[in-house]
Amino acid sequence: MMEELKIYEEKMQKTIDNLQENFQSIRAGRANPHVLDKIKVNYYGTMTPLQQVGNISVPEARIILIQPWERNMIKEIEKAINMSDIGINPTNDGQSIRLVFPELNEERRKDLAKQIKKYGEEAKVSIRNIRRDANDKTKKLEKDGEYTEDDLKQADKEIQKFTDDAIKEVDKMVEVKTKDIMTV
């Protein structure tokens, strides 16, 4: 019985992992190379992750330096960054690209906090949907005679525990990230 429920616990964990990835792409006034994780560059006709066409480093707290392995990729990288939603204009010196992160003002911090909350809510909805799917599955198993009524109650209890734990984790992550963003 528990093996069947493990699948749903793993799905909830994947939702939490996805939330963590979303949080890494939110910039907090400091240079974080993870803001570039979702950017893909046209590399000879193939959309390739930015990390695979150059070296990415953080020489100073608010600067990301991108040094392409092939100099002719600079224009493509610049174009990909401009088309992305990170909101920073790259500067190109012919050898490398610099992204300078401005200090966040209060209004921008509040916008980011709202975005964090939105991501958190989406994760919770996803977790609740997984719970619903798990409950539907156990009810079907009981209806088919594979579960007894006691098995169903036990399974429902386990599913609810997974759900409560996952939602607590999401709330904690939202709180920590919001605090990080709002700290000047």
Output the pLDDT for position 3.
78
Among 73, 100, 127, which residue terminates a domain? 100
Q: What is the pLDDT of residues 103-118, one digit of tens each?
A: 778 888 888 889 899 9
- DSSP 8-class letter at 144: T
Q: How many domains does the chain have?
A: 2
Regarding whether 168 and 78 lie in a shared domain, the answer is no
Regarding whether 78 and 125 lie in a shared domain, the answer is no
Measured CA to CA, the distance from residue 54 to residue 112 in angstroms comes to 28
Nearest alpha carbon to residue 166 among 3, 18, 57: 18
Residue 54 makes CB contacts below 8 A (sequence gap 6+) with: 66, 67, 68, 69, 73, 77
- Please tell me whether the overall predicted TM-score, pTM, comes out greater than 0.85 for this model: no
Q: What is the pLDDT of residues 104-160, one digit of tens each?
A: 788 888 888 898 999 999 999 999 999 999 999 999 988 998 888 898 899 999 999
**CA–centroid distance for 21 within its chain:** 2
Q: What are phi and psi of 30, to 5 degrees?
A: -105, 155
Regarding whether 109 and 89 lie in a shared domain, the answer is no
Q: What is the pLDDT of residues 46-88, one digit of tens each?
A: 999 988 999 999 888 888 999 999 988 898 899 888 888 777 8
